[in-house]
Amino acid sequence: MGYYRGMPNAQITGWGKCLPPAVLTNDDLATVMDTSDEWIVERTGIRERRISHVDTSELGLVAAKRALAAAGRDADDIGLLILCSASPDLLIPNTASRLQERLGNKQAAAFDLNSGCTGFVYGLKVANDHIGNYPDSPVLVVGAERLTWYLDWTQRDTAVLFGDGAGAAVFEPAEPGQGVIETHLGCEAAAGKALMVADFGTVMNRFGPDPTRFELMFDGREIFRQAVKGMALACQTVLAKAELEVADIDLVIPHQANERIIDALTNRLGMDDARVFKNIAQYGNTSSATIPIGLTEALEQGRVQPGATILMVAFGAGLTWGAAIMRWGDRTEALSTCIAELPPSNRTGPGLIAEAIEFFRNAPN
């Protein structure tokens, strides 16, 4: 435990989030599909979600600027920029490069990382390995998603689950015994069909009747089952690798996909509610952004004490899974704050999805 092969662990020195202002409540959804606030709250724990009026990179940009300010770093200090997203603005060039340009960084390596909702935990592992090898090269990991862009608002089983948002973290070398202590990642590809957009990418028939049609395919019960099993195993494995017990963990920041998944996971681990961070009620599932948003809010709420041992765990399309244990440093306050904001918008959640609803209602099956 402590150092990896004599190399420094990475510590998170800056954190930030960006939630677009437009709120879509369960009651709003109930006006456009056959659902209810009662059903959604009871089955998922979600009460509302945010709908973005800007692209993924813009959400990531604001979260990244806030994280850099919290770390007391300039954009140009960053040597590696990882954008974790399953909803990038562009595929060519990668969206990380767009983010790098907008940040004003001129030299960092930049790449997109798509591991679905597990993206940030994968990014954290890459950041830790990079810092171990290149301690003078800080890493910026951004989880940014505009998942509502994918949604068919006539499909009540998927449309109620997701929201937009971004979170970011700056990684730098930790003091001995602190920072990322252990990680454990994996992917159960055989079960991957349970969650996919099967007809988007080069598999699309570009010359067919309607190349803009694609669908989020989803087996909710299967994902639920796999998520609890996969995240529990990832937690148990990473704890064993770190030679720690559940009792040693001060705070769990789990991926926020469904409150019942979080509760089933923490029951299985024997973890009491007071040590589990949840914000799913306000934001729904923001995929790779859930953990950096959760970490930022946990810090804002004073739930991360100096020296705290934190377990982060996620599960997502692939089906990927991952867990990480880190020991927080002495500083739980941002070094400075950043006034960066999204471009102003007076559009409402229902207003932002109106065009998509119209499209899906009129689209031939």
Q: How far is the CB of 150 from ligand ACO (least distance, A)?
A: 11
Q: How far is the CB of 337 from ligand ACO (least distance, A)?
A: 31
Binding mask 21-40 for ligand ACO (x = CB under 6 A): --------------x---xx
Query: Which residues does 242 contact at the CB level (< 8 Å), separation at least 6?
Result: 1, 181, 182, 325
Residues 304-343 that bind ligand ACO (CB under 6 A): 315-316
Q: How far is the CB of 20 from ligand ACO (least distance, A)?
A: 19
Asked if 43 touches ligand ACO (CB under 6 A), the answer is yes
Residues 179-198 that bind ligand ACO (CB under 6 A): 195
- Total of chain residues touching ligand ACO, rule CB under 6 A: 21
Asked if 232 touches ligand ACO (CB under 6 A), the answer is no
Asked if 121 touches ligand ACO (CB under 6 A), the answer is no
Query: Has 338 been annotated as catalytic?
Result: no
Choosing from 53, 130, 184, 255, which is the catalytic residue?
Answer: 255
Residue whose CB is less far from ligand ACO, 156 or 331? 156
Q: Give the burial string for 72-110 (b: 16+ CB within 10 Å, else e).
A: ebebebbbbbbbbbbbbbeeeebbbbbbbeebebeebeb
Asked if 357 touches ligand ACO (CB under 6 A), the answer is no
Query: Has 117 been annotated as catalytic?
Result: yes
Q: Give the burial string for 203-224 (b: 16+ CB within 10 Å, else e).
A: eeeeeeeeeebbebebeeeebb
Q: How far is the CB of 334 from ligand ACO (least distance, A)?
A: 29
Asked if 248 touches ligand ACO (CB under 6 A), the answer is no
Strand partners, 316: 320
Amino acid at 356: A
Q: How far is the CB of 288 from ligand ACO (least distance, A)?
A: 10
Asked if 285 touches ligand ACO (CB under 6 A), the answer is yes
Asked if 117 touches ligand ACO (CB under 6 A), the answer is yes
Residue whose CB is less far from ligand ACO, 161 or 325? 161
Residue whose CB is less far from ligand ACO, 118 or 296? 118
Query: Which residues does 334 contact at the CB level (< 8 Å), separation at least 6?
Result: 14, 15, 69, 70
Asked if 161 touches ligand ACO (CB under 6 A), the answer is yes
Asked if 150 touches ligand ACO (CB under 6 A), the answer is no
Selected binder of ligand ACO within 3, 214, 224, 359 (CB under 6 A): 224
Q: Which residue ranges make up the site for ligand ACO (CB under 6 A)?
A: 35, 39-40, 43-44, 117, 156-157, 160-161, 195, 220-221, 223-224, 227, 257-258, 285, 315-316
Active site residues: 117, 255, 285
